[in-house]
Amino acid sequence: MKVLYQGTEGAYSQLAAGELFPKAELVSCKTFEDCFKKCVNDESLKTIIPIENSIAGRVADIQYLMNKYKLQIYAEHFHKVSHSLIVKPGTKIENLKYVRSHSQAISQCQKLINKYNLEPIIAADTAGSAKYISENSCGNEAAIASTLAAKIYNLEILENNIEDDKKNVTRFLVMGKKIEHPLFMKDNFITSCIFKVKDKPAALYKCLGGFATNDVSLSKLESFSDQSSFEQYLFLCDIVGHIEDPKVQKSLEELGFHTISLEILGVYKASKFRNL
């Protein structure tokens, strides 16, 4: 099995993929869109994509790519993020002036950045920041990245677990082209979909009414604009339940009456992390 992830080797997506697929071949891609494109063209591939973080919120642009490529969701995975401050061997913390990392990692480590009065440098990803430090003269610069990145690029860890909130968790989705719906049973499931509401008053209210009357919960509902237009919006929705559950089916039928389009993105088992 080949599993694609975005980022340089040592990225948190690689760590999450390794947890889920310890025997798979993990392949790095430069961008999220590269991951989606390759999976669309080869149904044997899977990709693991971060969709939201418990501190920094949703990952930018992912919902647009999900709508554009319509990959199926096979599973969800919650990964605890532990950041480290890493430098070239021998670099002293008192000599640091800059810290380089992805914007979300920077936002998640503000206490340490303020403590040492460091100037942030926003980079494409955390592991790429570590690689940059290893390949350049960076006596006054550190990176925020994983311990795996420090190991890969032979860097020194000055401080571990530097995230502001120790309950720092990222939710990942495993996706691919092939449609795979698990059998309906007593397990907890999530059904994910994207829908566009009709341009009428109270359209969203009417869309959600079916879930209320059928006693179906939603674990996620977020809006995003449609093709750079602010006139109509799409909604990414996670429904608690299996698509073959009669209550979910009735909810989706009613949802269909009030939408222009409705796409099912996947049916998959709810992670046990949700019950912690």
pLDDT in tens, 32-47: 999 999 999 999 999 9
| Tokens coding 126 | 């955390």
Per-residue pLDDT tens for 30-88?
999 999 999 999 999 999 999 998 888 888 889 999 999 999 999 999 999 999 999 99
> Across the strands, what pairs with 46?
3
Rounded to the nearest 10 degrees, what angle do helices 246-257 and 203-213 cross at? Answer: 160
Q: Is the pLDDT of residue 211 over 80?
A: yes
Q: Does residue 185 have a pLDDT over 90?
A: no
Distance CA 214, CA 245 (A): 11
User: For the whole model, what pTM was predicted?
Assistant: 0.91
Write down the mean pLDDT value for the chain. 94
pLDDT in tens, 132-165: 999 998 889 999 999 999 999 999 999 999 999 9
Cα–Cα nearest to 1, from 49, 45, 48, 47: 45
Cα Rg of the chain (Å, integer)? 21
What percent of the chain has pLDDT above 70?
98
* Rounded Cα gap, residues 247 and 255, in angstroms: 12
Q: List the strands of the sheet with 229-240, edge to edge.
A: 218-226, 229-240, 189-197, 259-269
Mean pLDDT on 103-132 = 94
CATH domain 84-160 topology: D-Maltodextrin-Binding Protein; domain 2 (3.40.190)
Residue 232 pLDDT greater than 80, yes or no? no
Query: Which CATH superfamily groups domain 2-80+169-176?
Result: Periplasmic binding protein-like II (3.40.190.10)
2-80+169-176 and 84-160: identical CATH topology:
yes
Q: Is 232 exposed, middle or buried (0-12, 13-18, 19+ CB in 10 A)?
A: middle
- Classify residue 273 by its DSSP letter: G
Class of domain 189-270: alpha beta
Domain boundaries defined on the chain: 2-80+169-176, 84-160, 189-270
pLDDT of residue 276: 67
Cβ–Cβ < 8 Å for 192, 74: no
**In the chain, what percentage of residues exceed pLDDT 90?**
84
Sequence-separated (6 or more) residues with CB below 8 Å from residue 274: 78, 188, 219
Q: What is the mean pLDDT of residues 213-222?
A: 96
